Structure formats: structure tokens, C-alpha cells
Amino acid sequence: MGRLFARYEVESPVGLEQAAAVIAGEQSSGTFLKLPGETDALRERFGARVEEIIEHSASPNPSLPCRLSGERFARGEIVLSWPVDNMGPSLTNALATVAGNLFELAEVSALRLLDIDFPDEFARAYPGPAFGVAGTKRLAGVGERPMIGTIIKPSVGLSPQETAGLVRELAEGGIDFIKDDELQANGPHCPLAERVEQVMRVVNGHAERTGRQVMYAFNITGEIDEMKRNADLVRDAGGTCVMVSLFSLGLAGLSAIRAHAALPLHCHRNGWGLFSRSPDIGMGFRAWQKFWRLAGADHLHVNGIANKFTESDASVIDSARSVGEPLFADDAYAAMPVFSSGQTAVQMPPTFEALGSGDFIYCAGGGIMGHPGGVAGGVASLRQAAEAAMKGIALDDHASEHAELRQALAMFQDKRQGTDGRS
């Protein structure tokens, strides 16, 4: 069987070599002393291996407790590997292996999982995204350009009828994609079943009149049996997408709904900041997204350029590129990146340039709803910005002939200063 590889950034008061050895032991066959039955042959077959150690310059860590302040710590990267014999081709147990108790070890003062490489046994065990980019665009009737999307706001408080009224306005304005907010699932003020009925009446009616069906991602996050019933409910109503919150479901929940649902899975990463924001402890998106794609995510949120959060543009772009990179020999596991968080027509060209294609969903809230021309003007401005990007035309030049884009650029000038990101 193959081996699972994981790369970490490590800081340690005892040195990288010792820290790597302790992590390898803790996460495979070892303990703090040798036990009966722990033979050399057992360790050779099942023990984790230290594959690589890359030392960086040591530096003090000001975030450590006062009792350690002033000391210097070794810092660098380590690569460990495990035989698949240890956990089998299981995502849940692979996660326990590469991101389990090691974060609590006294021998590390900072630890971050940067990346992971799965052996082919996982490809045979997990089918990955059922729809991905091509299947999503086919259902939405969108060709080479980006899909223009938005989020229902207010996030909570609207009734099913009020939600459907907003969907009607968005559909008539030319939107491709609409999603529930992650905070709106199946609450008593807007029950999912009634929301599906009201929204799909609008969506289906619009499709009958125009030949274009807007893709609406209904948030079905809940208990597994409940999610299965609700995925069927959306499918039977003619819906073409369901949404789930990844960290609420976990890998087993995502795999279960992937095996059941006959619709694309729009996957929101709310809660990711718990794992990513600290510079000392956490798990990078490059590692996480591989788990999620294997489990079946068709769409993955990656934040957005010049976003309202703390993530830099470079990190956003790396995340977006990563979800389309091959996991194995074939590229069947590619997912569609979803940009959101303060997006407007201004950020469309650098987003397109960073990816080199229109294979992404571009969700704007205020960038559509706040446009002087209303919803239709906001959607038009984003399509015009995408057209400029795809043709290699400067945004200002294209705006000279397109009023909606010109209005958007005037309104969202502040975003131009923000598109070089945060360090």
C-alpha cells in the first residue's frame, strides 16, 4: 500500500529533529516509553517516517507564555509520512493522523499543517466531486465566462415569500447563481420546505419564460438523515444545487450527503478562521481543500480579492488555484472556487487574471444590490467587467461604452486601492 505525506511548519524549543521524531512517534506507533509488543519490526512497518527537515533561522516567539519568553526556538518545515496500512483509505482517520494530538505536544511551540498528499488508495475509495466545474456550468447554462452570483440578505429574518420576492428580482436582473446565507437553514421563521416551494416556483417560472434556470443553493446543513430528505426535496422541486457548512458537517457528513444527493454540493467554509488565523497553530487551506474535494465538494469558498476579512490577496489566489489542481493522475477531482466577501466589478479583472479562466463563481452582495442601477445594473456591471477581463480590455476603457460598469467603478473606487492585498 502507499504512503500518506504531510508537510508542516514547526517551531520548537527542543529543535526540529527531536520535535519531528516526537510527532512521528505520537502519531503512529510510539509513546513516551517503549512498551511490550512494540518491536523493531512493528515500528519499521507502522511507524511514521521523518522524510525531510528544512531549518529556517531561529527567532523568539513573542506569543509564547512569559515562562518561555526570551528563549530562541528552532523554526522550519518538516515532512512526515505514514503507511496507509495504519488508517486505511479513510479521510476521517487520515485527519486524526495528520492533525490530531500533535498540536498539543510540549515539544512544539508552533505547528501548522501546510499540505498533504494522498496515495492512490484514496482515489479508489472516494469518488470526489460529482459535478465540479463542467457539471455546474452545464446546469446553470453558463459557458466560458464566470458565473455571477449573490447571497440572500438579510441573512435571517426574511419569510419564504419575501425570499422568493428577492429571488424574482434577481432572476429578472440576469443573475446566474443565488445562495442561502450560512446562517439561514431551517429555522421556524423561514422553514426550508416552504422556502424551497416558494423559491422554486419563481425559479421554474422564470426558466419556462426565458429558457434560463437560475441555480439556487439551498442550505440543507443539519443532521444526516434530515439533509438527505431535504436534498431529495430540492431535487424533486426542480432545484439544481444544495449548500452545506463544511465544519458543521465534518468529513463523514459530507461524504454521506455526497453519496446520497443527486445535486452539486455548494460548500461553505465558515469557521475556517479557527484553523487558519493564528500564525502559530492551525491548518492551511491547501491541506483542508484536499480532504473536502475527496469527500465530494463541488464548489468551495475561497474568500475574495480585497475582501472584508484579514486574508491577503495572495492567500485567496493560492486557495482558488489549489481547488483546481490535480489530486491524482486524472483531474476529475477539480472543484469550482467561489469568490465572495466585498466583491464588486473592480475585483473581477484581477480575479480572472489570477485564475486564467472564467471557471469560478463570483458572489457579490453590495456590489449588486448597492448599484445605482439596482439589481439589473449590478449584474450587468459584473458581466461587463468579466467581458473586459476575458477580452484583455482595460476596465476604464470598457466602462466608457458601458454605463453600468462606469457607475460601478465610480461607486466602488475604494476597492481599487485594496486589490493589492494585505501582507
Alpha carbon distance 186, 391 (integer Å) = 43
User: Is residue 423 situated within a structural domain?
Assistant: no
Biggest CA pair distance of the chain: 79
Secondary structure letter of residue 233 according to DSSP: H
Q: For the purposes of burial, counting CB atoms within 10 Å of the CB of 35, is it exposed (0-12), middle (13-18) or buried (19 or more)? A: exposed
Secondary structure letter of residue 90 according to DSSP: -
What stretch of H or E contains 216? Answer: strand 215-219
User: Is residue 229 situated within a structural domain?
Assistant: yes
User: Is residue 406 situated within a structural domain?
Assistant: yes
User: Is residue 169 situated within a structural domain?
Assistant: yes
Report the candidate in 344, 342, 340, 360 with the shortest Cα–Cα distance to residue 352.
360
Task: Specify whether the CB–CB gap between 213 and 141 falls below 8 A.
Answer: yes
User: Is residue 256 situated within a structural domain?
Assistant: yes
Quick: pLDDT tens for 63-86: 444 334 446 789 999 999 999 999
Quick: pLDDT tens for 156-185: 999 999 999 999 999 999 999 999 999 999
Based on the domain organization, do 29 and 177 belong to the same domain? no
Based on the domain organization, do 120 and 152 belong to the same domain? no
- Last-in-domain residue among 101, 125, 149: 125
Residue 331 sits in a domain whose CATH number is: 3.20.20.110
- Read off the pLDDT of each residue in 176-204 and give the average, rounded to a whole number: 97
- Last-in-domain residue among 90, 105, 125: 125
Alpha carbon distance 217, 178 (integer Å) = 6
User: Is residue 59 situated within a structural domain?
Assistant: yes
User: Is residue 282 situated within a structural domain?
Assistant: yes
What stretch of H or E contains 144? Answer: none
Alpha carbon distance 339, 218 (integer Å) = 18
Q: How, if at all, do strands 242-245 and 265-268 pair?
A: parallel
What pLDDT is attached to residue 106? 94
Query: For residue 154, is the peptide bond before it cis, meaning its omega torsion is within 30 degrees of 0?
Result: yes
Looking at per-residue pLDDT, the higher value among 422 and 222 belongs to 222
What are the residues facing 41 on neighbouring strands?
Answer: none
- Based on the structure, what is the number of domains in the chain? 2
Quick: pLDDT tens for 344-400: 999 999 999 999 999 999 999 999 999 999 999 999 999 999 999 999 999 999 999
Show the CA angle centred on residue 282, arms to residues 280 and 287, nearest 5°: 135
C-alpha cell at 208: 419556462
Residue 296 has pLDDT above 60, yes or no: yes
The length of the chain, given as a count of residues:
423
User: Is residue 70 situated within a structural domain?
Assistant: yes
Based on the domain organization, do 115 and 138 belong to the same domain? no
Residue 145 has pLDDT above 70, yes or no: yes
Least confident window among 12-21, 34-43, 109-118, 128-137 = 34-43
Based on the domain organization, do 116 and 141 belong to the same domain? no
C-alpha cell at 179: 445562495
Based on the domain organization, do 72 and 164 belong to the same domain? no
- Read off the pLDDT of each residue in 333-340 and give the average, rounded to a whole number: 97
Q: Half-sphere exposure of residue 319, counting CA atoms within 13 Å on the CB side? A: 26
Secondary structure letter of residue 269 according to DSSP: -
Confidence of residue 423 (pLDDT cuts 50, 70, 90): very low
**Which residue do the cell numbers 440576469 mark?**
174
pTM of the model as a whole: 0.93
Report the candidate in 287, 195, 301 with the shortest Cα–Cα distance to residue 246.
301
What pLDDT is attached to residue 31? 58
Based on the domain organization, do 262 and 359 belong to the same domain? yes
Alpha carbon distance 274, 34 (integer Å) = 35
Rounded to 10 deg, the angle between the 313-322 and 348-355 helix axes is 50
Q: For the purposes of burial, counting CB atoms within 10 Å of the CB of 159, is it exposed (0-12), middle (13-18) or buried (19 or more)? A: middle
Alpha carbon distance 180, 333 (integer Å) = 25
DSSP per-residue letters across 279-308: SSEEE-HHHHHHHHHHHT-SEEE---TT-S
Report the candidate in 210, 139, 137 with the shortest Cα–Cα distance to residue 168.
210
Based on the domain organization, do 316 and 298 belong to the same domain? yes
Q: For the purposes of burial, counting CB atoms within 10 Å of the CB of 33, is it exposed (0-12), middle (13-18) or buried (19 or more)? A: exposed
Q: How many helices (H) and strands (E) does the chain have?
A: 18, 13
- Read off the pLDDT of each residue in 280-306 and give the average, rounded to a whole number: 97
Based on the domain organization, do 8 and 107 belong to the same domain? yes
Based on the domain organization, do 256 and 113 belong to the same domain? no
Residue 80 sits in a domain whose CATH number is: 3.30.70.150
Quick: pLDDT tens for 82-107: 999 999 999 999 999 999 999 999 99
Based on the domain organization, do 111 and 86 belong to the same domain? yes
DSSP per-residue letters across 25-83: HHTTT--SS--TT--HHHHHHHS-EEEEEEEEEEE--TTS-GGGTT--EEEEEEEEEEE
Based on the domain organization, do 22 and 136 belong to the same domain? no
Residue 40's domain comprises 3-125
Based on the domain organization, do 364 and 215 belong to the same domain? yes
Task: Specify whether the CB–CB gap between 119 and 62 falls below 8 A.
Answer: no
- Last-in-domain residue among 86, 107, 125: 125
